[in-house]
Amino acid sequence: MKKNAVDWIAYVLVIVGALNWGFVGLFNFDIVARILGEATALARIVYSLVGLSGLYLIYVVAAKES
């Protein structure tokens, strides 16, 4: 199945989110907060986009299975 731009963006954001949570869990280091500032509007947007990307990929996988 060929991936479009939205698919690739979602994959990148989910990977960024997974790596960030890995760093938080292992080292108590939040990369997104360090780069964008803690509790800033931009950081919240990134976290929201990561979450939406996860939901989108759940939909993509579910649609592929049916």
Question: Given CA atoms 34, 28, 20, 42 in this order, what sign does their dihedral have?
Answer: negative
Q: Which residue is listed with tokens 């989108």? A: 56
Domain extents in the chain: 5-65
| Residuewise pLDDT in 10s, the chain (66 residues) | 788 999 999 999 999 999 999 999 999 999 999 999 999 999 999 999 999 999 999 999 999 887
What's the whole-model pTM score? 0.87
